[in-house]
Structures are given as C-alpha cells and as structure tokens.
Structure 1
C-alpha cells in the first residue's frame, strides 16, 4: 500500500521505531539471503536483482542501528537510469516487490520522493520478516542438501548396477531376469534430469534404484552359487578371507598410539597396506593389487563391529552383519554424510580421491571416532577433508585407524 504524506507534515512524528537486523547480520549478507529465497516468494530473477540493486543503494548502517531506516529517495526516473531499466519495467518490478512485502513505497501527494518529506522506497518491512525469511532459507538449504544427497545415492546405485550388469551379461545374457533388470536400468532418467525432479519424486526414484540394485546383486550371487565358481571381478559381499587384521590388532597391546598417528601415519606407497602376522611389526608394507582386495579382507561382521551405533543402525536395516555388501556400506556412509551435516562437496572430493570404497571406510572411521574419549572429532566435515588431503599426500593410514578403533572397542568391552 502506498502511503501519502504532505510536504508540510512531520513524517517522523507518528512512525514507529524502525526494526534492525539481528546481531551479527549486515546489509549485504541479508541481501544475499533475500535473493536466495526470492523465487519462493513469487519473485522472478529480474525483480529480485532489482531489489538487490535498490537495497545496495541504502546506507549499511541504516540496517543495524536504532533510529535509522534503510531507504532510497531518488526519483523513479533517476532510478530507472541507474538500473538501466525502462520506467515501465521499473514500475512493474517495484509493484511486484511491494506485493511480496520486500519494499514499501511512501510518496508525497504529487508522487515525489525526498529525504526531507520522508518519502521514497523503504525496507523496514522486509527487516520485520527476517525470522520468516531466515527460516525459509534454512529449509531450502536443507532441501538442497537432501537433493544433492539423493542424487549422490542414485549415482552410487547406477555405478554399482552397471558393474553388476556387465558381469551378468557375461554369464547369463539371455536370462529373462537379467534382461528385465537391464530394461529397468535403461529406463532410469539421465543424471541431468534428476535436477528437475521434486524432492519427493527424487526420493521415490532413489528407493526404486536401490531395490533394483539389490535385486541385481542377489541375482549375481544366485548365479555364482549355481555355477559353483566366482564370477569375474565379483565382490558383492565383504569377504572375510583373512585373520591378519585381528592378529595385527594385538601386535602391540601395551602401546597406546595417538589418534592422529593412527589416522594420518605415513604410508610407504600410494596403495593401501595389508596386515601380515609374519611381519615383524604386524604389517606388510608391500602394496597389494587394489584397495577393493584389501577392503575385502576386513570381513562384514568385523567392519560392523567397528562402526558407530548410528552406522550400525543403518547397516542393520540393510542386511544382517554377515551378509553386508560394499554397496550397503557406501549407502550408509552417504547417509551419515547427510546426518552429520557434512557438505556434499567434502564427500565428493573424498570419493574422487580415494574411490567410493575407501571413502566409505574413511567415513566409518570418522563416525566412530566422533565419541573418542581422548580426541573426539568436533568438525566431521573438516576432518573428512583432512583425510582426503592426507590420502592425496600419501599420509592416510586407514589400517592404522582401524587398529586404533579395534583397540578402543576391546577396551570398552573388557570386564
């Protein structure tokens, strides 16, 4: 609503005390907040940009100091020139912004604006809506992160299912079950289409993708058993093929190593190390063929035992501990990324550097160490980025971290 004042009236006499931004907020940070939520207030990009330009013309102190009110007094024709807009376009934007409650127009009887008359474009109304807009921004941020998480999990399912289908086609390409899974996989929307999905639709698709991937893994296991031989590159389950890990955990029972040394100890090569009971220090420093081979030696029940209660809860919902697959561990690690408010970019960087398997193992270690009685992890996101940097520099000792977790679990369970 346009308020009209006469030039002779005292414009400040009846005005209420102007609101200010909460402590710690400044004009520019609030402008960015409004720009982020503007599309959800029915404001188009062009009108939102106009509002931001107008708000930036105000004095910063007017937003945070009592007794002052952020406002723009320039005439409409002058503002149109400054903003490189036609008079008609500026009027349209101003009307839209006023309907949305982002500005308030106060004009004199002849439509003029001036500081002396207390007329112009004012922003006190939008400051009054700070709590509402800030809550909306937090809600949208949570939704964006959940959408990123769901797209990441769909990517995990896609990657796993593609690998499983390659193996299924090698041994049973004519099997009707394989063909049905392949057809359903081919019908999945492309990755770029996921961005246009609503959150509910994306969540439903992720569940369907997970179910299809689990069905493919089950079929692969069935064919493996029927053929009585392992399929090429088969690593569906976490295979417990070595007792080396438990032996190495007892290699130095009286020595308590610092948590930092366990997590960021120098590796002798770029590949993970595997434990060897015949080595003098409990480790064989020679690199093995691949990280997946090394990870497979851990065994599902042992890995479940080392996980945090929260991660165990999710893993239990996927399968019994002895039947867990690496797909389940990666899925759970991504879920904990969301729960711990770790920025998706930190997880993406870890996967790109270490591969999804080792990144999931890093998340398991990080999650379990959040409650370490000596050196708990305060910032999970920062710690994950630190683990990624250490990996790239050859300084991440995942096996040492697992040994440290095992030592802690044994102490906790000791009578």
Structure 2
C-alpha cells in the first residue's frame, strides 16, 4: 500500500478533512491512470469551463485557474516534469486581469476546495523553487496542477453528460414546438370552418385546454419538467387529429350514402314502347343529367391544412412560400409538367374536380412520388373516380397528416 504525502497549509490557515480527502483521491487517481501521453492544458481547461457547474466553480475562479496555467511551461501537462507553479501574488493578479489580492485569495481557496489545485506551502509560506548544487530542481513550493491531470477523465465524462443532456433538451423543445404548432393550426382551421366536434364538446373547449398547457411551460425549464408536458401536448394533438379524422370520415360516409341513393333511383330504367324518337326537350333533359355527372360538387379544404399535410410543395414555389391558393395552383402546375402529366389529362381533372382540388391532389402526389409509377395514369384514375362521385381528397390529406405526425413522434424529419 502506497502512503500518500498530505500537504498542509502554512500559518494560521487550518487543515480540513475535505482537503486531506481531496489529496488522497488525487493521488489514487494519478496512480491508477496511464498518463504516458501528455494532455494539452488548454483543451483540459476548456473541458473544465464547459463542466463548470458540475465542478462547482465560478467564472472568476476559472480566470485564476487560467492565469495559473500560463505559468506552467509548455502547452502539455506532463506528470514526470513536476506540476507545481509558483507565481507571486502580484504576477498572478496581473494575469488575472488585475484582480484584487483579497479576491484572488478567495478564488484560490475555491479552486483548492473543489480539488482543482493543491497548495504546497514552503516553511515560510513563500512560493519559490530551490535549486540543488548542480542547478537541478531540489524543491518547489506553490500550487500543484496535478489534480487537473488526475481528474482529466472525470472532466471529460462530465462534459459528455452535459452535452447529452443539452441535446436531449433541445430535441424535447423542438418536439414541443412542433406539437404546439400542429395543435394551434388544426384548431384554428376547425374554428374557421365551423366544424362540429360532437359528443357535447366544442373546439373552443379544446382551444382552452391547449392554452392551459401553453401557460404551464416555464421560460427556463429542464428536461424533467418538459417531458411530462410534452406527453400531455401529444395526447391533446392525438385527440384533435382524431376529431378531424372522424369529421372527414363522417363527411365521406354521408357523401357515399347520398351517392348510393342517387344510383338506386337512377337504376330504374325508363321503358318506352313508342317507336318515335325522343323529343328535343327530353334530349336536353338527359344532357343536363350528364352535365351534372361531369361536374360533381366538391368541398374546399383550408390552405393551411393542405400545407401541413404536403410540406414539400412549398419547396417548388416562388420564394419558397405559399400564401394563397393562387400560389398553390401555380406551383402545382409547375410540378405537373415535372411529373410529365399531359395538358389534356390536367384539364380533364380540372373539369371533373375543380382547379383547387386538382392542386391538392398534385401536392399529395408529390408527397408520395416515390410510390407513384405513372403520375399521369394515376391522375386519370382519380379523375374517373371523381366523375363517378367516388373520390374525395379528404382521406388523402388525413393519411398524409397522420404519416407526418408519426414521423415527428419517431424523430424522423419531414421534408
């Protein structure tokens, strides 16, 4: 067992058990660590600065430590070269930006208390280096920097945990921002459209719940405070998303029932026993029925909802922003040419669905472009379904919104 030499302070300064424990701890760490490769003293100092809170020192104390390091010759800390620096208070004060003597002594005591340096006092309390008869170093009295080298791994681990915690906090804040944005925009859209929530509830109540959560977010919060809040926001977002999905599914179901009823009435054939051709009035009546089939009634969706479901379309717009429906229509027309959709197929889709609906469809196709082999053929199929009243862009939008939400939950970036 190696006996550790414990250095005691000069004069009226008392020795404490904590000081002795620190010196023994440093000696044990130095004995157990391999310092065959020297460490850059300034790299080590930067680690200590980054871990300052965990180390337990102030920025002014680090100013004094910085000054002490300037008295160590060379850039690298090497244990076998002696690690004691012995500046006078005057020189140390000058390199500490002119720090007052009383303040200097206080911060030196703080560095000693936190185990960053060890005091090696001479018999008379002065700091100096005594040479032998042949000029070799005989004894040095001052401040030992050995704890810095002995605790290098400890400081590196502190910085690793600090950086990991900061990264986790940043990720949590980003997720919280995205969830808040999703909830705010979806509730705003629902209120503007006058959608009904059902079951005796209202979108205004959901908005109040949202505001109650927002005011609970502290200005300076750690990850332990934000994690539970994030879960509550995600639960509210899922509720809002589910409510919108139920509303769109209800509309689609109502439209299908209406269409089925219309097909039922039209399925009864009109049998004419007369051999004469139909009158002009009858022909015009049939023509009006065909025109009604060619132009089905469509429902417009809020632009904000479309952009939330199809974020990639903004990349192709002028200036990278879409503010109005005109911007979306012009942008999707450009995407249409990029997809190779013929003008005839494009015009037929507009005739069947309307220009805004076609713009939404093309924006949705852009989000799923990696899965659509023939954009032109895909649009023609949707056009035929629209003519038969068997297509709505609502499910497409909701499916994309669900996909984006899942990507955000799983930490996958949405372009």
**TM-score (normalised: structure 2):** 0.55
Corresponding position of 2:226:
202
Corresponding position of 2:65:
51
Closer, same or farther in 2 for the Cα pair 1:190/1:96, shift >3 Å? farther
**Does the Cα contact within 8 Å between 1:26 and 1:60 map onto a contact in 2?**
no
Once residues 55 and 119 of structure 2 are traced to their aligned partners in structure 1, the CA distance between those partners, rounded to angstroms, is 19
* SS of residue in 2 equivalent to 1:112: coil
**TM-score (normalised: structure 1):** 0.55
Corresponding position of 2:189:
167
Deviation string for 1:321-364 (max 9, x for gaps)?
999431222332xx25xxxxxxxxxxxxxxxxxxxxxx525xxx
Deviation string for 1:133-169 (max 9, x for gaps)?
1111111111111111111111111221221121111
1:181 aligns with 2:206: yes
Number of residue equivalences: 272
Correspondence 1:15-414 to 2 at 5 A: 23=37, 25-63=39-77, 65-83=78-96, 84-116=98-130, 117-172=139-194, 176-189=201-214, 193=218, 196-228=220-252, 231-233=301-303, 234-235=305-306, 275-276=339-340, 293-298=364-369, 324-332=402-410, 335=411, 360-361=414-415
Closer, same or farther in 2 for the Cα pair 1:39/1:292, shift >3 Å? farther
Alpha-carbon distance, 1:68 to partner: 1.3
Unaligned 5+ runs, structure 1 = 6-14, 240-268, 280-287, 303-320, 337-358, 362-415
* SS of residue in 1 equivalent to 2:181: helix
Once residues 21 and 51 of structure 1 are traced to their aligned partners in structure 2, the CA distance between those partners, rounded to angstroms, is 21
Closer, same or farther in 2 for the Cα pair 1:164/1:81, shift >3 Å? same
Once residues 336 and 110 of structure 2 are traced to their aligned partners in structure 1, the CA distance between those partners, rounded to angstroms, is 60
Alpha-carbon distance, 1:190 to partner: 7.2
* SS of residue in 2 equivalent to 1:162: helix
Closer, same or farther in 2 for the Cα pair 1:81/1:213, shift >3 Å? same
* SS of residue in 2 equivalent to 1:167: helix
Unaligned 5+ runs, structure 2 = 1-5, 11-26, 131-138, 253-298, 311-332, 344-357, 374-398
Alpha-carbon distance, 1:39 to partner: 0.9
**Does the Cα contact within 8 Å between 2:93 and 2:99 map onto a contact in 1?**
yes
Closer, same or farther in 2 for the Cα pair 1:85/1:188, shift >3 Å? farther
Larger Rg over CA atoms: 2
More helix by share: 2
Alpha-carbon distance, 1:61 to partner: 4.2
Alpha-carbon distance, 1:94 to partner: 1.1
**Does the Cα contact within 8 Å between 1:4 and 1:109 map onto a contact in 2?**
no
Once residues 272 and 204 of structure 1 are traced to their aligned partners in structure 2, the CA distance between those partners, rounded to angstroms, is 45
**Does the Cα contact within 8 Å between 1:274 and 1:294 map onto a contact in 2?**
no
Closer, same or farther in 2 for the Cα pair 1:323/1:220, shift >3 Å? closer
**Does the Cα contact within 8 Å between 1:71 and 1:120 map onto a contact in 2?**
yes
Deviation string for 1:294-330 (max 9, x for gaps)?
444459999xxxxxxxxxxxxxxxxxx9994312223
Closer, same or farther in 2 for the Cα pair 1:74/1:149, shift >3 Å? same
**Does the Cα contact within 8 Å between 2:183 and 2:237 map onto a contact in 1?**
yes
**Does the Cα contact within 8 Å between 2:408 and 2:414 map onto a contact in 1?**
yes
**Does the Cα contact within 8 Å between 2:116 and 2:145 map onto a contact in 1?**
yes
Once residues 408 and 371 of structure 2 are traced to their aligned partners in structure 1, the CA distance between those partners, rounded to angstroms, is 13
* SS of residue in 2 equivalent to 1:67: helix
Once residues 36 and 363 of structure 2 are traced to their aligned partners in structure 1, the CA distance between those partners, rounded to angstroms, is 51
**Does the Cα contact within 8 Å between 1:217 and 1:236 map onto a contact in 2?**
no
